[in-house]
Structure 1
Amino acid sequence: MFLIVAKYLIPKGYSGMAVFPFIVMKHDVNKANKIFINHEKIHLRQQLEMLILPFFIWYVFEFLIRLLQYKNKDLAYRNISFEREAYTKETDLHYIRNRRIFQFLHYIKLK
């Protein structure tokens, strides 16, 4: 994992993103934010177990489905299964150690 600060690569309204093997963040202060880093590490694990490219294809596809479902881009983003898992478990700093493979599938249910 490599931490990169690149203010202009991060879309407005977001603090950072994970693109294996990098965590790219808008502000240097996020390097010390354990919850932020843990959230992004969960995404790195998801990407790795899906062999990276399929993760991004699934991510975009699920975002589009959620956008049709919620008709709101922020709700669509927050309800992508990968994001649901990461937001739910970001405060558990030992989660990665105990996480089972493809755990994000438990978060895919439509509400």
Structure 2
Amino acid sequence: MTGWLVTARFLKPNINAMALFPFILIREDAMRNDKVLLNHERIHLRQQAELLVLPFYILYLLNYLLSLARYRRHYPAYRNISFEREAYDKEADLHYLGRRRWYNWLAYL
């Protein structure tokens, strides 16, 4: 699953990309060449697909709210969402999706 790349200049300056199944939104055209960034977002596309999209967004939000209650700040809460933990941990491994097991994000809860 590669995702359709769409340049979305409306993304905030602190957001480089975002996976919204089946699209990967990128802030600038130059980001089309950032293999690590795109791999991170493709991991999210796989997570979204295996949860049939809508449940992913519900679980993502619940996970964020629980993390926010724990850490009291946006950035640590965001980085501790299980989906983000998997994506950040494996983003540099460009072959990860070829061997990733289904629901592997559960290992990051």
With the length of structure 1 as denominator, give the TM-score of the two structures: 0.94
Residue in 2 that maps onto 1:7: 9
User: Could you list the runs of 5+ residues in structure 2 that have no partner in the other structure?
Assistant: none
Residue in 1 that maps onto 2:32: 31
Runs of 4+ deviating beyond 4 Å: none
With the length of structure 2 as denominator, give the TM-score of the two structures: 0.96
Percent identity reads 48
Residue in 2 that maps onto 1:104: 105
Q: For residue 30 of structure 1, report the CA deviation from its aligned partner.
A: 0.8
Q: How many residues matched?
A: 107
Q: Deviations over 1:16-56 (max 9, x none)?
A: 10011100011111100000000000000000000000000
User: Could you list the runs of 5+ residues in structure 1 that have no partner in the other structure?
Assistant: none
Return the alpha-carbon distance in structure 2 between the equivalents of residues 7 and 69 of structure 1. Answer: 33
Question: Pairwise mapping of residues 1-111 of structure 1 onto structure 2 (< 5 A)?
Answer: 1-8=3-10, 10-108=11-109
Q: Deviations over 1:40-85 (max 9, x none)?
A: 0000000000000000000011100000000010100011000000
